[in-house]
Amino acid sequence: MSDMLTYDEYKALAADIQLPSLAYINGEFRPAASGKTFASTNPATGAHLADIAACNADDVNVAVSAAREAFEDGRWSKLHPNERKAILLKLCDLVEANAHELAVMESLDSGKPITDCETIDIPEFVHTLKWHAELVDKIYDQTAPVGSDAMSMIVREPIGVVGAVLPWNFPLLMLAWKMAPCLAAGCTLVLKPAAQTTLTTLKIAELAAEAGVPAGVFNVVSGSGREVGEPIGLHMDVDMVTFTGSTATGRRFLNYAAESNLKKVVLELGGKNPCIVLDDAERLDEVAEQVCAAAFWNMGENCSAGSRLIVQEGIKDELLERIKHFAKDWTVGDPLNPENALGAMVDKGHFTKVASYLDLAREEGYDIVLGGDTSEGCYIQPTVVAGVNNSDKIAQEEIFGPILSVISVKDYDEAIAVANDTEYGLAASVFTANARKSLRAAQAVRAGTVTVNCFGEGDITTPFGGYKQSGFGGRDNSIHAHDQYTELKTIWVDLSEG
Ligand code: NAP
Ligand code: MG
């Protein structure tokens, strides 16, 4: 990981930075076929950053044809695993060499704090890509126990042309979660970043070309969900779509697949994740720190944000005092200032939506224990709202902002019932000193990841994804992610004599 620069150095870099604006299709940077563009804006300042190619179905068709040709002629899918690995590892080196520039670009475009970009997003991008690249020449296929008169092989083959449609909350990281296993498996990719956060994906395309990823293998089609996402979803020649975003949009991709070629669909969707704190939880300061991180990290723009604190009555007041204390560390302000832990919400529209929940909290007369304020520059203070019932709107809807709802419960059983009383099932945390209870809770909560005495998402070695309406069809990360970009083929060979 690169060392951090100073605030002044980041400002100087931001003032000078060259921002990409063209789509990347079949190995070329090009404008949209229609010639249209859309503006990329810095949410913290309102400054115009770039006019980016606004592609549509025509550009998607060109990109899918290029990806198909590249897949079929084997320039990537049939490359020796060692060579695919070497190219992806070269890309890791180039990302590291360009870390400051990528970090500034990410921060300017999304409002994310520069410290997170430098210490989390970029190192994790590299780590994810490296992990899957290293896997390429270490996976073995299987033979089946079919007796001595035959031999049967079960082999994995790359699934083909993959469409990926991404959200804006972790632009580089979500890109890595998709492109790393997809390219490692030997597929070709047609990818649409979220319109709000396209810049770093285009920069990665430039670095991928420099690393030696052949033309047609990695295509970035910039534009809106309607103009680019939908044609990818409906395309007859896309073999699989991997999507991360809201549950509402994810649902559309199942319709697109049903209406077109029954492409495989993998969805990573929203969450309304519980943090359960039982009254025997130890080291309350650490619990409070973890609860704050769960609720406020990345401005709460996090699918696995712990946005519901489900706390046993006996410990509630003490825990809230400590949360108030540690929330002071979550300073909000200019994303380029390394001192700030939180930056701006991603855009004005999302800022307004999150702020409407603050209005709701006041109208409903909840106890606003902390925060509740907004300021110019799409900034929202970390906010804690107590006295919430789990059935209330604020506890059921994914806000995607730094707003924590506090729900008191009498006992363990009520805590589990409340935790599960949601349409989502992405992640959950439980804090207790009782090992038996912690494991019972881990079994009882219907969520893809359950962390005990900490908040987190596991790491690259563990699958990440959701139960219920938080996901569909697969998991990101770990070897499971790699597998979902492959098809299984059975090859049966007759060995009988005579
Ligand atoms: P979103 O509105 O669903 O957008 C996600 C992507 O879908 C964007 O690229 C968007 O394009 C595109 N899209 C929008 N409408 C479409 C349509 N009709 N057809 C095809 N594509 C369409 O979600 P978001 O607001 O960007 O992201 C936040 C959501 O992502 C939250 O719900 C969060 O929980 C979820 N998320 C989940 C995970 C996970 O791993 N489970 C991780 C991160 C985020 P535009 O460019 O037009 O917006
Ligand atoms: Mg932007």
Taking only the tens place, the pLDDT of each residue in 332-377 is: 999 999 999 999 999 999 999 999 999 999 999 999 999 999 999 9
In the residue annotation, 187 being an active-site residue is answered as no
Q: Are 262 and 286 part of one and the same domain? A: no
The residue nearest atom 35 of ligand 1, judged by CA position, is 245
Ligand 1 touching residue 252 (CB < 6 A): yes
Q: Are 259 and 303 part of one and the same domain? A: no
pLDDT at position 2 is 56
Looking at the CA of residue 350, tell me the nearest atom of ligand 1.
Answer: 25
Pocket test residue of 178, 197, 201, 244 for ligand 1, highest count of atoms within 8 A of CB? 244
The whole domain housing 244 covers: 7-269+471-488
Distances (CA, A) of 426 to 165, 272, 316, 393, 468: 19, 8, 25, 19, 8
Among 388, 350, 78, smallest CA distance to 214 is for 78
Q: Are 430 and 443 part of one and the same domain? A: yes
Bridge partners of 143, per DSSP, are: 153
In a domain, 179, yes or no: yes
487: exposed, middle or buried (C-beta count within 10 Å: 0-12, 13-18, 19+)?
A: middle
CA 40–ligand 2 middle distance (angstroms): 5
pLDDT at position 61 is 99
In a domain, 418, yes or no: yes
Ligand 1 touching residue 230 (CB < 6 A): yes
Q: Are 209 and 305 part of one and the same domain? A: no
pLDDT at position 78 is 97
CATH of the domain at 64: 3.40.605.10
Indicate the number of domains in the chain.
Answer: 2
Indicate whether this model's pTM tops 0.75. Answer: yes
pLDDT at position 498 is 80
Which DSSP category does 464 fall into?
B
CA 109–ligand 2 middle distance (angstroms): 4
C-alpha span between 306 and 44 (Å, rounded): 25
Which ligand sits closest to the CA of 111?
2
Helices 435-444 and 412-420 meet at what angle, rounded to 10? 30
CATH of the domain at 452: 3.40.309.10
Bridge partners of 156, per DSSP, are: 488
In the residue annotation, 134 being an active-site residue is answered as no
Q: Are 207 and 340 part of one and the same domain? A: no
In a domain, 1, yes or no: no
Which ligand sits closest to the CA of 476?
1
Looking at the CA of residue 268, tell me the nearest atom of ligand 1.
Answer: 41
Ligand 1 touching residue 257 (CB < 6 A): no
List the catalytic residue out of 268, 289, 301, 398: 268
CA 111–ligand 2 middle distance (angstroms): 8
Q: Are 390 and 481 part of one and the same domain? A: no
In a domain, 498, yes or no: no
Which ligand sits closest to the CA of 267?
1
Ligand 1 touching residue 177 (CB < 6 A): no
User: What is the DSSP pairing of strand 218-220 with strand 188-192?
Assistant: parallel
- Per-block mean pLDDT, blocks of 10 residues, the chain (498 long): 88 98 98 98 98 98 99 98 98 98 98 98 98 96 97 98 98 98 98 98 98 98 98 99 98 98 98 98 98 98 98 98 97 98 98 98 97 97 98 98 98 98 98 98 98 96 98 97 96 94
Q: Are 242 and 309 part of one and the same domain? A: no
CA 46–ligand 1 middle distance (angstroms): 22
Q: Are 76 and 223 part of one and the same domain? A: yes
Q: Are 237 and 252 part of one and the same domain? A: yes
Q: Are 283 and 349 part of one and the same domain? A: yes
In a domain, 434, yes or no: yes
Which H or E run contains 320? helix 313-327
In a domain, 81, yes or no: yes
In a domain, 495, yes or no: no
Q: Are 367 and 346 part of one and the same domain? A: yes
In a domain, 2, yes or no: no
pLDDT at position 422 is 98
Q: Are 256 and 385 part of one and the same domain? A: no
